Amino acid sequence: MSDLLKQRLQLLDTNAHLPLLAKGLRGIERETLRVDTDGKLMLTPHPVELGSALTHPLITTDYSESLLEFITPAEQDISIALDKLDLIHRFSYSRFGAQMLWNNSMPCELPQEKDIPIAWYGSSHIGMIKHVYRRGLALRYGKSMQCIAGIHYNYSLSEDLWKLLKKEDGDTRSERDYQSESYVALIRNFHRYSWLLMYLFGASPALSKNFLRGRQHDLETLSEDTLFLPYATSLRMSDLGYQNNVQDGLVPPYNNLLDYMRSLSLAVRKPHRPYEELGIKKDGEWMQINANVLQIENEFYATIRPKRVIKLGERPVEALCARGVQYIEVRCMDVDPFEALGINLKTSRFLDAFLLFCALNDSALTNEAEGEENLSNFALTVKQGRTPGLMLQNQGTSVSLRQWGEQIIEQIAPLAALLDKQTETNEHQQSLQAQLDKLRDPDLTPSARVLAAIREEQGSFNQFALKQSHYFAEQFKARPLSEQDAVYFEELTRSSLAQQAQMEQSQSGSFDEFIEDYRSRTSSQICCDGL
């Protein structure tokens, strides 16, 4: 354990400071496809019974009308967020009729590309720019990739805790800058160790054959309709999923928030000829926000992002520049097909301990060589993570995945114990032991369990995923909301629809003017002001 981590553990392990660990916030964004009872993609519009996808605070869509996104409020205890995620699922099922949620990261057998519906958010300028952005994604990457689902885990530490650490460090920066750069340090450590999350929680070792649309691949055939890799953990996070060669090296390993924002700001200003050839407009209709490497900052497919809650119409980089980093968003977690919510409390407790370790531990500055090593370790783990004796690279030295994983778990143990002391439970330490068991027995990992279950379904990924989806659909439908909760969700539905209608009726100016103004706010000044 580093000296810095020891000092910080001692600082927090006091009656005066331990309560600060309870004041951070956690939230979950869960993506999931709507399918019919046969596991076919629903091509119907976003159900109006769920409210407005544009303005509802808890239920929206991601890329497609068929790809729901459930968003929990930020809570001090992740168990509360999970309870609220459960309520969102149960409400949705009360409005679904003959459809259900696909409980897997990799999509069902998809229809032809042209038939996958792009998400629609109404005719307001804000709604239209969200739709145009998704049109651009369809042109650039195809629609199939956009139908992959994941779990996003939002995490923050208390601002009072950052103030305490700043004082203890004797740091002279502003509180905002100290907090922002501390989150960047967390992100550096996350990149060093995130391969471990893929081994422990990756749950997509197989996929439907039709997902690849004839693309070249190195997968093996498991059955007539299923491709896989025998030791893969997360094909979703491999070069078959959320990868984009155009973005390679787009955001180099960064050591401060300014470097990160400059890289993104450059990417949303830099023209890319193949995207120019696709056209920005067609027959007077906007097909992309622009023809640059990125249309907007969120197009960058990162496994983790520094975040700040944005105001209506504000760009993410503008928010970071103006107010600094507020929280981080972990984006590499697969949907766990054995869990009704796609994630459970035990996994969440480990994530909290893991991220606290990344936040409080030493975080040396990084460089291109380490960035390549981190990417290589991650890529090896998602495609070969359960290979017996798999070796990774730790600062240029070969080390077995199992040995390194056990070392990381050992370093996280005091943080899990501290979190358990604060919560008066042993849940963090129990979760740590469960992860250690996976390192010692790869058959306990979700990816191994998924492959075993698929083999029980004649090797068919679709049959396995459909079976799991039906199972959890029945569970949700068997637990209707209380009258109080039903009234709450019905009011959210009504108010969100009314808010969208009001936005559409009250806006002024043309969409062309609106989008040109939005595009103009990519000047290099964005990443310099306020820093």
Q: Each residue of 55-77: pLDDT tens digit?
A: 999 999 999 999 999 999 999 99
Rounded-to-integer distance, Cα 158 and Cα 23, Å:
5
* pLDDT band of 318, cuts 50, 70, 90: confident
Please say if the pLDDT value at position 424 is more than 70.
yes
| Both tokens assigned to 260 | 């990160």
Domains of the chain (ranges, CATH numbers): 3-527 (3.30.590.20)
For the chain, what percent of residues have pLDDT higher than 90? 88
Instruction: Provide the CB-side half-sphere exposure for 506 (13 A, CA).
Output: 6
pLDDT tens for each residue of 466-504: 999 999 999 999 999 999 999 999 999 999 999 999 999
Per-residue pLDDT, 524: 44
* pLDDT band of 244, cuts 50, 70, 90: low
Task: List all residues 6 or more positions away from 435 whose beta carbon is below 8 Å from its beta carbon.
Answer: 200, 350, 409
* pLDDT band of 272, cuts 50, 70, 90: very high
Give mean pLDDT, residues 402-428. 97
Give mean pLDDT, residues 123-131. 96
Burial class (CB in 10 A: 0-12, 13-18, 19+), 76: middle
Rounded-to-integer distance, Cα 426 and Cα 78, Å:
15
pLDDT tens for each residue of 325-349: 999 999 999 999 999 999 999 999 9
Nearest to 355 by CA among 200, 188, 238: 188
Give mean pLDDT, residues 384-403. 97
- Side chain identity at residue 345, one-letter code: L
Nearest to 103 by CA among 467, 469, 475, 447: 469
Kindly report the pTM of this predicted structure.
Answer: 0.96
The residues with which 41 forms a beta bridge, in sequence order, are 35
DSSP letters for 142-197 = -SSGGG---EEEEE---HHHHHHHHHHHT--S-HHHHHHHHHHHHHHHHHHHHHHH
Q: What angle do CA 111, 46, 201 make, to 5 degrees?
A: 70
Per-residue pLDDT, 215: 85
- Side chain identity at residue 342, one-letter code: G
Rounded-to-integer distance, Cα 340 and Cα 516, Å:
43
Per-residue pLDDT, 530: 38
Nearest to 67 by CA among 144, 124, 129, 132: 144
| Both tokens assigned to 265 | 């700001």
For the chain, what percent of residues have pLDDT higher than 70? 97
pLDDT tens for each residue of 194-231: 999 999 999 999 999 999 988 889 999 999 999 999 99
Task: List all residues 6 or more positions away from 506 whose beta carbon is below 8 Å from its beta carbon.
Answer: none
216-to-110, 223, 450 alpha-carbon distances in Å: 18, 18, 24
| Both tokens assigned to 342 | 């796609």
